Amino acid sequence: MTSRRSFLKTSALLSAGLLVAPQLFAYDKKYIGLQLYTVRDHMAKDVAGTLAKVAQIGYNSVEASYGDGKFYGLDGSAFGVLLKQNGLIMPSCHYILGEASSTAKGTILHGWDKAVEDASQIGLKYMICAWLAPSERGSLEHYKQVAEDLNKAGETCKKAGIQLCYHNHDFEFIQENGKYPYEILLNDTDKNLVKMEMDLYWMTKAKQDPIAIFNKNPGRFPLLHLKDMDKTDKQMFTEVGNGVIDFKKILSHAKTAGVKYFFVEEDVCPGDSFDSITQSINYIKKNLV
C-alpha cells in the first residue's frame, strides 16, 4: 500500500517535473522523431538498412519525403512494412508545391489527389508543404495565391482525415511594404485547413521569436523541427544542444503552440549523419524529454 509519505514525495516530484519541464505534458504521446532528410545520403543507398539504424539509435518516429509518387522509391505499402518492422511511426511527410515543376508527380498542384490517397494508405496524420522554390516566392500578391493553393489542398487533406501544414525557412521573413510573406501564409489560410510546422533554426536565422509567434497564433503549430544553430558567425547547422537555441524554453510553450510531434533535422552534418543524430538524441533524452 502506498504510504502518505511516499504519496506526498511522489506528488512533490511530479510537481517539480511540471515546473522544470512542462513540455513533457503537452503531447498525447511521447515520440522522438527524425526528419529523414538528415540521413538522405544513407537513404539513397539503403532504405531498409538506414531505417533500421535510425531505430537502433533510439528514434521511434520519422518524417519522410514523397516524390514522383513514391516514398524513397517505394510505394506506400512497402515503405509502411519497413517502418513497422523497425517499430517506427511516420506521422508526417514532406511535399513540394509543384508550381516550378509541372512534370513532378504528387505535388500540391499536380497529382495531389493521388498523393493524399497514398498518404492515407500509409496512415499519415500530416502532409507538409516543405518549401517554396525561388520562382514560387515572388511578391506578397503571389504569396496570396500560394495561400489559396494551400487552402484548396488542405480541403482535400481534410476529406481524408489528414492535416495540411506549411514548413518555414527564412525567406518568408523578407519584408515587402513592412509585411512578411509568413503573415500572408498565416492569415490568408484557414487555420483549420492549414497549420504550421515551425523550423526553429530558420526562425532563429530570420531573427524571429518562436514563443511570440506561438502566443499570437495558439494551436497553429502541431509540428516542430528541432534544428540547432552553431555558435560561430557563420550560423551553420549543428547537433541539437550544441548551439545557441534554447529548446527547453521554447518547448515549455508547446501546449500553447499545439505541438504534437517534433523532429530532429540537420541539413548539413560535419561528418557521418548517424553520428550527428546520435549526439542530438542523447541531448534530447537527457535534457528535453
Please give the pLDDT value at position 267: 98
Query: Is the pLDDT assigned to residue 243 strictly greater than 90?
Result: yes
Please give the pLDDT value at position 30: 82
Residues 6+ apart with CB under 8 A from 32: 58, 59, 60, 61, 262, 264, 281, 284, 285, 289
Q: Where are the domains of the chain?
A: 26-287
pLDDT single digits (tens) 117-176: 999 999 999 999 999 999 999 999 999 999 999 999 999 999 999 999 999 999 999 999
Nearest to 227, CA basis, from 180, 173, 284: 284
pLDDT single digits (tens) 23-57: 444 554 489 999 999 999 999 999 999 999 999 99
Query: Is the pLDDT assigned to residue 234 strictly greater than 60?
Result: yes
Q: What CATH code is assigned to 26-287? A: 3.20.20.150
Contact call for residues 136 and 99 (beta carbons, < 8 A): yes
